[in-house]
Amino acid sequence: MNTSLSPDKDTGNRQQQGCGWLTTAVAPISTAAREAARERQNRLTKPPGSLGQLEGLAVTFAGWQHDPLPDIDRCQVRVFAGDHGLVVEGVSAFPQSVTVEMLRNFARGGAAISVLSQALDADFRVINLGTAHPLPVEDQGHPAIQHLQLAPGTANMCTEPAMTGELLAAALLAGAEAVFGVERGVFIGGEMGIGNTAATAALTCALLDLPAQATVGRGTGVDDDGLARKRRAVDRALTLHKPYCISPLETLRRLGGLEIAALTGAYTAAAQKGMPSLVDGYICTAAALIACLITPAVRDWLLFAHCSAEPGHRFLLKALAARPLLDLDMRLGEGSGAAIALPLLQVACRLHGRMATFEEAEVSGHG
């Protein structure tokens, strides 16, 4: 498993621009390569359209890679971790100490996304943006962990904004710096943070004008009392902040999390570099929506892996006009659903490139 880091030549520019870099133009998509790929699909030894969505995926990657014969030979997985201040409201079934414990589990290969990344031979790294409990010193230098610790988590959004403007900008930048554009690559973002489904529910309500009842799910498995506390906390946060949520960035600052901000920055930077992102579940899709609201062209560089069992996820997918590849009742996070969907993309490209055309196979074509 490759965990090497590469320098980002744009880092200095982003630091100087604050959040202004988010609206920088995304990479162009090749219409010519896309049309050539579509024409090839029509000549392959199969009835037209018989491979369903796999055909369209190959054509999409042709446009992204500027090559009528696309292939996927690189995958970058970045798991962003950060804690949430609203956990004091009793919104999670687990204590915040679990975030640090899971960071160590990620690095040591014991988490689901770690196993999946190894199976995919992915470039894997976990980025600690800010945990409430300190990461042990002996783990801070682990090659699979980038230890930033921008803050000890966010503030309690039920009483104040989750982040300052400076902290938000730093988290966005951290996400952008985690993406290294490579040819024929795919970016997968994951997240870890106790309390992040509550924060995502609040963001979903504010962005899409929905009630907490529609978006708040059980997350890590809260019981009925915990679910009621979680809904009350989201309602309190919305009552306090929604009148001031006048832009996607301000909504993210007030109701979001460090890992959600980093994902927003990562999806934006990947699109700017010409690297498609395979978006995971509920938390990741909220970050993707914010990125698209800030820079609509980012949407052209996103694919959506699966539909989470969290109730709010479907609203986000609908807002993005997204058709997820899988629906397996997953709600783990970490980027796990996206990692499971990646082989579908690889198979789509290989079928497109390696199947014979009617002419090559000397098979009579249709019509």
* pLDDT exceeds cutoff 80 at 6: no
Which pLDDT score is estimated for 366?
62
215: left (phi over 0), alpha (psi -120 to 50) or beta: alpha
* pLDDT exceeds cutoff 60 at 9: no
Q: In whole angstroms, give the CA distance from residue 187 to residue 342.
A: 10
Please report which confidence band the pLDDT of residue 4 belongs to, taking 50, 70 and 90 as the band edges: very low
Q: In whole angstroms, give the CA distance from residue 100 to residue 105.
A: 9
In Å, what is the CA distance from 207 to each residue of 16, 181, 225, 242? 28, 29, 26, 9
334 catalytically annotated = yes
Q: Mean pLDDT over all residues of the chain?
A: 94
Please report which confidence band the pLDDT of residue 18 belongs to, taking 50, 70 and 90 as the band edges: confident
Residue 295 token pair: 């820079």
Which pLDDT score is estimated for 165?
96
* pLDDT exceeds cutoff 80 at 273: yes
- Residue among 334, 359, 360, 362 flagged as catalytic: 334
Query: What is the per-residue pLDDT across 42-71, written as a single tens digit (0 to 9) for each?
Result: 999 999 999 999 999 999 999 999 999 999
Residue pair 315/204 in contact (Cβ under 8 Å)? The answer is yes
What domains, with CATH codes, occur in the chain? 73-350 (3.40.50.10210)
Query: What is the per-residue pLDDT across 316-361, written as a single tens digit (0 to 9) for each?
Result: 999 999 999 999 999 999 999 999 999 999 999 999 999 999 999 9
Which pLDDT score is estimated for 104?
96
Please report which confidence band the pLDDT of residue 15 belongs to, taking 50, 70 and 90 as the band edges: low
Which pLDDT score is estimated for 181?
84
Which pLDDT score is estimated for 51?
97
Which pLDDT score is estimated for 208?
98
Average pLDDT over residues 111-126: 97
Q: Per-residue DSSP letters for 92-157?
A: -SS-THHHHHHHHHHHTT-SHHHHHHHHHT-EEEEEEEE-SSPPPHHHHT-TTEEE---SSS---T
* pLDDT exceeds cutoff 70 at 1: no
* pLDDT exceeds cutoff 50 at 178: yes
Q: Which residue has the tokens 């199969």?
A: 46
* pLDDT exceeds cutoff 50 at 7: no
Q: In whole angstroms, give the CA distance from residue 31 to residue 359.
A: 25
